[in-house]
Chains A and B, each alone.
Chain A
Amino acid sequence: MSSRAADRPSPPRGASTPPEASAAALQTRGAVAFLTPALLLIGIFLVFPALWTLYLGITDYRLTGIQAAQPQVIGLDNYASALGDPAFANSLWVTLLYVLGSAVIGQLGLGFALAWTFRRWRGPARNALEVLVIAAWIIPSSVVAFLWIAFLDTHNGTLNAALGNADIPWLFSWPLLSIIVFNTWRGTAFSMLLCGGALNTLPPSHLETARLAGASTWQQLRDIVLPSIRGHLLTNLLLISLWTFNDFTPYLITAGGPNFATDTLPVYIFRNALINFQLGYGAAISAILLLINLVIALVYLRLLRARS
């Protein structure tokens, strides 16, 4: 996993700076001093408990009952029973759809569309819309979850009222779609801000030239904009995919139901770790989630490298 490829597109620095030249600006000793506080904190409060958790994944540890007093190392049994559990397979599938729908298509798509729209549009309406989008991102999850329960309510919900008292049981008939639409609403702001920042790095002359040459918006996007900010988009995609994979908020809206239609992996872990108190099993699923996240990160790095 070379880091060089990732650094190359950065315009101000570029490949022209030999790697070792940076040592002149910041001595190794200084760098160590700068890194120490963060690494200490990460080492003690992140790496250590994470490794401990991974260790619990090979035990039958529970928070209560006999296994709380005498946990046994059971090797890979937790992993075997997870892989043999149809509910786990269902959760994995639901999670993939959720990430694809709400992060990749929803947040990135809408976030980019908004950033593109906001690029040159000015005025109070724009500012109001931007604050709304960002408010959806920063209002606490327990509050937004409740807002969406109210919004989608069958008989009283604002959505059904807006559709003319439709009385559609959204969370019952379209549960996964509902939480995908919810999470798109929830997280678009991050992609919007990030894409906005990326679009700002584009030299305006590029687009101007293309426009004068008669390129349509779609052509401009395809041929100029997307290739130039592809690295930014991929990084954004990595972060929002990871966050969505680990997102627990849907539980507050649907509790994983109906009939496990919204039982994403974090909800599955929650059910096993906090309702059943099977912490060993929950830890094993967390490790599987970690592996999936690792695969995403590797795919991302590969895509990033492939662009040069």
Chain B
Amino acid sequence: MVRDGTTPTPGSIPGPSEAALQVRRLLSRIGFYLFIVIVGAYFALPMLWLVFAPFDPHPTLAAAVPSSVTLSNFSDLLKNPNALRSLVNSIVLAGATMVLVVAAAAPAAYALSRVRIPGRDLLLYVLLLFSSVVTGTAAMVPLFLLVFNLGLINTDVGVVLVLAGGLMPAGIFILKDFVDSMPKSYEESARVFGASSFQILRDIVLPYARPGLAVIAVWVVVNVWSNFLIPFILIRDPGLMPAAVVVYNFYTEGGQADLRLLSSFGLLYSIPVVVMYLFVNRRYGFRFYGGIKG
């Protein structure tokens, strides 16, 4: 990342009067800092609670620096045998779904980008719309019976397949854009040297679309990481439940949140995805280089 230390001063255009220019520059600079401070506070303040409450022996809904810092919330959390295991389960589910979506969406996006199939875009839109039906609660029974009759109830495989099916259209949609932006000449010269379609995909398209793959990967993981309904209806063994389900363990029969356990679990539950993002961003550059077009 380039650091040149300067702040942008939008609107600093050489004008007729030097004094007017100075005032204008000052105002725009003040406006800029004001914007940054407000936006920064907007994004930071709601997260403060997650920073303090897990270490507070008696957390309330107030985000306050605890008077004494404790780790007892975390040690109490471990009394729940599913707490840590669920994070591992989430990693397995998110990882497997991510691999499956990327592995299936990348060649599909390439094919859809390069071969003209009648009604291609219509197909993509319709699939995109269908995915919103299936992710809704109304599809609960069809999904359950489908997976049940495949003999995949209470398995990670069933959950991964359903999640991957739901995420695939948007994954292809986003990825296709990266492939669209790749100059055709790359592939054509490779083909001159006798490369097969698969080799072109592996050696040219995928490296080119790497930031797109990173975007899809993070996006899939984030979606699976939050998904409650699908694993909840398809899994029965508490040892296989992901964190999205286990997080509800920390409410009482009366529906009250146990703030000690909820805050400490909430922190543990959030860290892996944030770390993953930082890793992917550093390693692959998490950017929509081309933006997305239809």
When A and B assemble into the complex, do they touch directly, with CB atoms less than 8 Å apart?
yes
Which residue of the partner chain A has the closest CB to B145? A52
Q: Are B139 and A28 in contact (CB under 8 A)?
A: no
Q: What chain B residues lie within 8 Å of A136 (beta carbons)?
A: 43, 46-47
Q: Are A148 and B39 in contact (CB under 8 A)?
A: no
Contact with B along A273-308 (1 / 0, CB 8 A): 110000100110111011001100100110010000
B201 at the A interface (CB under 8 A): yes
Q: Which segment of A83-91, A92-100, A149-157, A256-264 sits at the interface?
A: A149-157
Residue of A56, A125, A147, A273 with most partner-chain B CB within 10 A: A147
Q: How many residues of A contact B (CB 8 A)?
A: 130
Which residue of the partner chain A has the closest CB to B222? A138
Within 8 A of B (CB), among A113-154: 113-114, 116-117, 119-123, 125, 127-129, 131-144, 146-151, 153
Q: What chain B residues lie within 8 Å of A198 (beta carbons)?
A: 288, 290-291
Q: Are A41 and B165 in contact (CB under 8 A)?
A: yes
Q: What chain A residues lie within 8 Å of B114 (beta carbons)?
A: 22, 25-26, 31
Task: Give bound CA distance, A287 to B127, whole Å.
Answer: 14
Task: Give bound CA distance, A38 to B173, whole Å.
Answer: 12
Distance of B184 from chain A, by nearest CB (Å):
6
Q: What chain B residues lie within 8 Å of A289 (beta carbons)?
A: 132-133, 136
Q: A185: which of B42, B132, B228, B293 is its contact (CB, 8 Å)?
A: B42
Task: Give bound CA distance, A35 to B7, whole Å.
Answer: 47
Q: What chain B residues lie within 8 Å of A159 (beta carbons)?
A: 45
Within 8 A of B (CB), among A1-21: 1, 3, 6-7, 9-13, 17, 19-21
Within 8 A of B (CB), among A37-88: 37-39, 41-42, 44-50, 52-54, 56-57, 61, 63
B60 at the A interface (CB under 8 A): yes
Q: What chain B residues lie within 8 Å of A149 (beta carbons)?
A: 61
Q: What chain A residues lie within 8 Å of B294 (beta carbons)?
A: 3, 6, 231, 234-235, 238, 300-301, 304
Q: Are A158 and B49 in contact (CB under 8 A)?
A: yes
Majority SS at the chain B contact face: helix
Q: What chain A residues lie within 8 Å of B252 (beta carbons)?
A: none
Within 8 A of A (CB), among B162-178: 162, 164-166, 168-170, 172-173, 177
Which residue of the partner chain B has the closest CB to A61? B141
B287 at the A interface (CB under 8 A): yes
Q: Are A161 and B62 in contact (CB under 8 A)?
A: yes
B48 at the A interface (CB under 8 A): yes
Q: How many residues of B contact A (CB 8 A)?
A: 119
Q: Are B130 and A47 in contact (CB under 8 A)?
A: yes
Q: What chain A residues lie within 8 Å of B122 (beta carbons)?
A: 1, 3
With A22-B116, A194-B291 as known contacts, state yes or no: A1 contacts B121, CB within 8 Å: yes
Q: B46: which of A32, A122, A148, A286 is its contact (CB, 8 Å)?
A: A148
Q: Are B166 and A45 in contact (CB under 8 A)?
A: yes
Q: B278: which of A13, A26, A131, A193 is its contact (CB, 8 Å)?
A: A131
Q: Are A156 and B60 in contact (CB under 8 A)?
A: yes
A209 at the B interface (CB under 8 A): no
User: Known pairs A34-B107, A117-B8. 9 more at Cβ < 8 A?
Assistant: A3-B122, A7-B293, A17-B184, A37-B103, A45-B146, A139-B270, A140-B243, A193-B286, A231-B291
- Give 18 A-B contacts (CB < 8 Å), ordered by A residue: A13-B183, A24-B191, A31-B117, A37-B104, A37-B107, A49-B142, A49-B146, A56-B138, A121-B8, A122-B3, A123-B5, A136-B47, A139-B274, A143-B270, A148-B46, A239-B170, A279-B138, A279-B140
> What are the 3 A-B residue pairs with the smallest beta carbon separation, nearest first?
A45-B165, A197-B288, A198-B291
